[in-house]
Structure 1
Amino acid sequence: MHVASNSRRRTLLTLLALCAELAMLAREHLHGGVLSHHLLANPDLPAVSNWWGLLLVPLLTWWTVGRVERRAQHAASGGRSLKPAPLIAFVCALAYGATLAALFAAGSPLVDYVFFGLLALALVVRLWHAEYLLGFVLAMSWVAGPVLPAMFGAVIAVLSWLVHTAGRALWRRLRPGMA
């Protein structure tokens, strides 16, 4: 029954994400057409249409819910609870992405600080977890579409994973008392 409940939750959240993306695209279509966003906000570079969000957002949601459920099962088998952590991570990423999106839309000079702050945050927080990427992409999609934030978020996730993995390996090697 627990597996059926997880599958139902995964499907429901994926459908909810699809409906949200459809609503955003319908709004864009009714207000002048579906937007496209240039890479690095440079008109000389190719543009990516928000239509790709119909594929990306549900797939990212499906993958994220599956990853969280798998980590929760692994934690439960070890006698630990993962319960609030993924939701908190998702909400924090949503808030960070919304802040960045709002500053970008307003043309604020603070965008650079918040943008590079994410790089610094990747050094101390495990930003490779899927819930961070999903929250960031959903928040940023209102300003930059879902594809560009997903690409940037993936780079941040890989950077965070590399730094943390290298740090753990170095710590194991240098830890006193270990032969």
Structure 2
Amino acid sequence: MIAQKIIQNKLPFIVLVTFLVGLHIFWEHYNGGVTTHHLLAREDLPGISNWWGLLSIPLLSWILISLSKWLHNKNPTTYGLSQITKGFIGGLVFGILISLLWEFRLENILQYAIWSPIILAFFIRIYLPGNLLGFILGLTYTFGGILPIAIGLVLITVSFLVWTIFRKGIPFVFQKINQKN
């Protein structure tokens, strides 16, 4: 299983991610310069260079793989290897979809698609580290090494709040109300 190999030996995966980010930056450097992404896509706001991806993406990969391993070891039935793999692939596909929508300037679809993880959070746990890693890697080619992390953290945080409040909090409140009656 893919997740088991990555969790047990994360160094080859992190080296692969570092190589791919480095290859992308090398290509950008010799084809017009390394891209700088500006906040909110506005030139008057501060920019973040893709060079930061050489540090941020491998570091984040190490952190999220370690967190996935910890969660799996803590509770393998709830956070199984197949769930890690499915979450990673789902996040990767969603990140690539968002990147393609941005690249092809389909903002009318993008504005709705970006909310889909929050809607899915009502039904499944989107906030897991494997999902976040796949999502960030899917966005890295288009948005560099920092903006995907910021976007991913916002979506993961909101998804966690939705899951916690609606899947755990509301039933808890109703249970307490029924106990008083």
Q: Same fold (TM over 0.5)?
A: yes
Match of 2:75, as an amino acid?
A
Cα distance change of structure 1 residues 8 and 127 upon mapping to structure 2, 3 Å threshold: closer
Question: Which deviates the most, 83-92 or 105-114?
Answer: 105-114
The code of the aligned residue for 2:37 comes to H
Q: Which residue of 2 aligns with 1:141?
A: 140
Q: Which residue of 1 aligns with 2:30?
A: 30
Please state if 1:63 is matched with 2:63: yes
Cα pair distance change 1:93/1:80, threshold 3 Å: closer
Counterparts in 2 of 1:9-88, with a 5 A limit?
Answer: 9-76=9-76, 82-88=80-86
Q: Quick one: distance in 2 between partners of 1:175 and 1:62?
A: 40
User: RMSD of aligned C-alpha atoms?
Assistant: 2.2
CA distance in structure 1 between the partners assigned to 2:40 and 2:117 by the alignment: 16
| Percent of matched pairs sharing the same residue | 27
Cα displacement (A) at 1:6:
7.3
* 1:96-115 to 2 correspondences below 5 Å: 96-108=94-106, 109-115=108-114
* Count of residues paired in the alignment: 173
Structure 1 residue 80: deviation in Å? Answer: 6.3
Q: CA deviation at 1:7?
A: 7.4
Deviation string 1:29-70 (CA, Å, 9 cap, x unpaired) is 111111010111112211110111111111111011111111
Tell me the equivalent position of 2:154. Answer: 155
Cα pair 2:127 2:159 within 8 Å, conserved: yes
In the TM superposition, residue 122 of structure 1 has moved relative to its aligned partner by 3.7
* CA deviation map 1:122-166 (0-9, x unaligned): 443322211121111111111111211110110111111122222
Give 2:125's aligned amino acid: R
